[in-house]
Chains A and B, each alone.
Chain A
Amino acid sequence: MDEQARAILQRVIRKIPNKKLQTALRAWDHLSSEQLESLDYAQPKWLFLENLISRCEENRLSLKDVTKLEMAYYIDNPSKGTWHAYQLFQAEGDAVSVNFTQFREQLKAHLKDVVRHVSVRTKKLEDGAVWIRIAWGDNFSKPNHLKPTYVVHYLQTSYVFVLNLMSKHKPFLYQALLLSTRHVSIKEAQLSSRSLTAMRDLLMRQYQQVFPTNQERTLKERNAPPSHPSIEKEHAECAERRHQMACEAFGDGVLPKLETAVYKLETKYRGNSNNTLNDKDELFRGVVMFSSSNLLESFRHCVSAGMAEGPVTPLLSSITQKGRNSFVITDKVPGAASQTPAHKA
């Protein structure tokens, strides 16, 4: 094993908690069961690592084998680091018929066309996710396996999730993805999170959305008399309406675990009507950052508990509707007093 292989092995082993080591190495499937049993998993990491390296050397394992272990670690722990979402646009006619084998071959070929030294490893999981590990080099240096980029793509969808991509490599990855998925353009989706699962569930709509499908209720609501004889009933109905509104905006049940949303406000000051700042055309600039262990559930609760006024502002419902958590808010018409701010990509 060379220096890089040792370094990667060391880094991966350090990240895996002691009690999960055995399972991880077993899943890796590069050591015999005797070798696995001969290791003492309770040892301090540095000592364990030495023993592990000697087993790996017995088996003449190479850098390639070690990168497989690293990839398996990231697949099991997709919440290490910040993922960024990208969206593919303008699918070509044959985009829907791209299969995994074609995709893999094309991606590798296109990357190798532009970067001489690049190492690409792919794996398709049960749920259809294609995981890609790219170690970048250039014309003069070998691929750097210590800083690989991870890419996750679900074939036939327009979403790509990327971890650890340097801006100098961006054009290469863009081009290779466009050619191998048969699309014309790609853009950043203004969604980033530590949780790959949350981003995927949000963009692919894998959570329980609420639609106004109960016709009886909509009719009744609209024809409801203006006042109710029982105030209590009115309160209950009010609370139910708020809850319905909250669920329609953010979803029902367990929601994707998005942790933050950021809004850059570049709008005119909207204070009290008698405030002098209202007369000015200048912008009132600021940044609002929302954070929670589950942002969408927090917003839903705020709305249904009456801490936020209904109907839910498009600024907040855009998180689910547009699948974004980073916004720049500007006034629609500069100079005109517009109450509904527009979203700018």
Chain B
Amino acid sequence: MATVKWPHFFHFSAPHSVVNTPAHRPDTRRSKSYGRSCVEPPSLFWQTPGHLTTLGHRIPTSRRAAKSHNITTKVDPEQVALLIKNEWKLSHVTPLYRFRHTQLKLYSKHLAAFIIAEKQQGVAVEVGVEAGFKVTFSAVLGIAETKEDAETVFIQVHSKPLFSADTPKAVWRGWLTCVNGDPEYLRSLPPDFVSLPLFCSSGPEYLTALVKSWFERTFDCSFGSLYLNSTMLNWLAALWTGCHPTSNIRYLKLAWNMPSQPPLDIAYTVNPQDAWELWNSIHTEDSTDDRINIEEVQLFMNGLEIHFFRHFKIYLSAGTLTKVSTALGSAHHDGKIKIGSSDYITTLLTLLTECALMKTPV
């Protein structure tokens, strides 16, 4: 137990112990949903359940300001276009056991077979007119930012219509990604584990459930809904507003929900230039490494809330910030996002990867 950062990383205090590769593990382990929870002496784990720590203890208090870069120079523009189209529902995923980017073709077949089998068993409630499903897994190369980040995997489910003349229609899309994931954490993963902590899906709920269930069975992982707390939404509001001089954000729209009877929704759409000027009066740009502090973000949001209060005398703090949107994208606290522009995709995904990792039990 002589290594650093205990208790955050106490699991890895003995990386060279007997069971450092999951392949040698006894079968009991596979029934657990925690990715890597039994490397450490079990006694410690059992005695201190309260210490089941997460990366949540390491919320950054500053980040790099969003910088526009044309991602289509590194990534296939067609693949980027797919990410921008839809509204995505977010989940977090524990590391995948024995996931191989070289086996995507095989996974495509397996998942298709799994979906068809489940449908035939009648487990899935939805009964469509589809004669069958075609699944494609593809790697979206170039989204990853660091060498620790695993490459993004994109999955599409097409339904094969009854009449073969029609072309297959994409009925479900989803992707797993990791952008600027905590390098220390990623390096500390045992071999055979791949961390793609952020899962985005778009399509019928039953297909999402089937895909998740296949992943859980195949890669011994576990999914959970990812909600975005107000701190995250505040970050996005400030980061996006900061982009305005280089890329027109068109509007900054903030939505709150007040717990009144009946509930009250408040949507405040701020003129982009005015929002930016407020942000600019708070944020001092330093030339070398443009970083934004959490204090600045809070001042900015407070400034907007105070201006609102001076008019309506309503304490927005009594409610919940539910949504932040600009032309660059939108994020809802119940875990739904839209990507409006590919230019700032990295900033958004970095933030969401961090959110997902925070939720992952370590």
Contacts and interface: CB of A to CB of B under 8 A. Distances in A.
A263 B269 CA distance: 10
A301 B265 CA distance: 13
B260 A305 contact: yes
A285 B264 contact: no
Nearest to B314: A308
A269 B278 contact: yes
Contacts of A299: 260, 264
Given A291-B267, A312-B313, A307 B260 contact: yes
Contacts of A339: 310
A289 interface: yes
A292 B258 CA distance: 10
A341 B266 contact: no
A267 interface: yes
Interface stretch (B176-184, B187-195, B215-223, B300-308): B300-308
A26 B62 CA distance: 70
Interface string B245-276: 00000000000001111111111111100100
B28 interface: no
B234 to A, nearest CB: 16
A275 B271 contact: no
Given A313-B313, A329-B311, A301 B261 contact: yes
A270 B310 contact: yes
Contacts of A293: 262
B262 A275 contact: no
Interface residues of B, number: 32
Contacts of A265: 311
A173 interface: no
A46 interface: no
Instruction: Choose among A302, A305, A329 the residue with the greatest number of B CB atoms under 10 Å from its CB.
Output: A302
B281 interface: yes
Given A288-B312, A307-B314, A308-B314, A270 B307 contact: yes
A341 B263 CA distance: 27
A211 interface: no
A293 to B, nearest CB: 5
A81 B281 CA distance: 44
A298 interface: yes
B265 A290 contact: yes
Interface stretch (A55-63, A141-149, A276-284): A276-284
B314 A302 contact: yes
Given A270-B306, A277-B281, A301 B267 contact: no
A314 to B, nearest CB: 10
A271 B315 contact: no
B313 A288 contact: no
B318 interface: yes
Contact of B262 (A288, A294, A310): A294
B312 to A, nearest CB: 6
Contacts of B307: 269-271, 284
Interface string A310-341: 10110110000000000001000000000101
Instruction: Choose among A271, A277, A283, A289 the residue with the greatest number of B CB atoms under 10 Å from its CB.
Output: A271
B315 A307 contact: yes
B303 A316 contact: no
B260 A272 contact: no
Contacts of B311: 263, 265, 267, 270, 288, 313, 315, 329, 341
A277 B278 contact: yes
B269 A298 contact: no
Nearest to A309: B313
Contacts of B309: 309
B64 to A, nearest CB: 24
Contact of A307 (B258, B278, B306): B258
A271 B303 contact: yes
A204 B137 CA distance: 63
A44 interface: no
A283 B274 contact: yes
B205 interface: no
B260 A298 contact: yes
Interface in B262-298: 262-271, 274, 277-278, 281
A271 B311 CA distance: 11
Given A269-B278, A275-B281, A286 B271 contact: yes
B253 to A, nearest CB: 9
Given A301-B260, A301-B261, A288 B306 contact: no
B168 interface: no
5 contacts: A287-B268, A290-B266, A292-B265, A307-B259, A308-B313
Interface of B: 258-271, 274, 277-278, 281, 302-303, 306-315, 318-319
**In the A-B complex, the 9 residue pairs with the closest CB atoms:** A285-B271, A298-B264, A270-B310, A301-B260, A307-B318, A286-B270, A309-B313, A276-B281, A308-B314
